[in-house]
Amino acid sequence: MHNFTRRLSIAPMLDWTDRHYRYFVRFITRHTLLYTEMVTTAALLHGDRNRLLRFDSVEHPLAIQFAGSDPSALAQCARIGAIWGYDEINLNVGCPSDRVQNGRFGACLMAEPQLVAECVAAMKNAVTLPVTVKTRIGIDDRDSYGELVDFVGAQVNAGCDALIVHARKAWLKGLSPKENRDVPPLRYDVVHQLKMDFPALSITLNGGITTLTAAANALTTLDGVMIGREAYHNPWLLADADRLIFGTISPPITREQVLEQFLPYAAKQLAQGVPLSAMSRHLLGLFQGQPGARAWRRQISEQAHQPNAGLSVLALPQQIIDSLE
């Protein structure tokens, strides 16, 4: 297990935070904690384990997020995750999609705090890695602070090492997963109150944080901040994270250098049969706001999916090159 801090992390995002994105973003920030996409226990125990779990060592520190509600199955998955070399085991108790509810995992589990506690305890007994929970502040009409305290208390008693709190409630009926990320109001006050009531518990704030300045402000009272889609669409916002958030001094890097360093990895993956589009889609935000960025994105979007697309698709337009001089 690698030593790491949860001061800043990038949220687990299905179809987005795959191994190619994580490899790419490591050139921008060395210390930010990364998460895998959500992996269901059924998929891991019965599916293609190598496809679901493989990662490059440069991705550390790296947590794996599981979704499930069977303590025994989660314990098995936690052991597998530990064997594969992950740094943290995380349980999803925050996703509100219908598919997740039908599988009896995700945010609907907030209604069953003791079951979640049994899951946490089972994983804690199975591994020596940190076991954490990502949750909401409530679901539907079950959103009183008292119920949230009961839920958190049960996880603390089960041995939960850290809590990541999306500071919105989730509506399990009537709102789509996308709407559940935007419509319910953010309640940072609830997360701050949790920290006051559970001072020994590491608490990370998730939801609505889109700048390092906002992250640094939150860190004056909380233990960590998790950034989601903004870190994907605008990855360069992380360029100063190691200095501002983690206090480490490293040589400055440019967007062009990030791309240059990613190319050997992309070449290796192409040689192994990975299509360019599976990797290039994660790069689209690298030059966001820069001259020529739109032309570069269009070039990639139009060409990367074509058969035998190669690294030339990623070549920078002259407009970007001129702006770098």
> What residues are labeled active site?
95
Nearest-angstrom CA–CA distance, 115 and 68: 11
Q: Exposed (0-12), middle (13-18) or buried (19+): which is 3, by Cβ within 10 Å?
A: exposed
The structure tokens listed for 103 are 């599988």
Distance CA 44, CA 69 (A): 14
Helix 188-197, helix 145-158: angle, nearest 10: 50
Beta strands in 4-98 (DSSP E): 8-10, 34-40, 62-67, 88-93
Bond from prior residue into 61 cis (ω within 30 degrees of 0): yes
Q: Of the candidates 292, 218, 280, 201, which has an alpha carbon nearest to the alpha carbon of residue 20?
A: 280
Distance CA 179, CA 158 (A): 32
Distance, CA of 218 to CA of 234 (rounded, Å): 20
Please give the torsion angle defined by the CA atoms of residues 317, 25, 12 and 156, in that order, rounded to the nearest 10 degrees.
-160
Q: Could you give the residue ranges of the DSSP H alpha helices within 85-130?
A: 98-102, 113-126
Q: Closest Cα partner for 317 from 289, 288, 297, 303?
A: 297
**Beta-strand pair 34-40/131-135:** unpaired
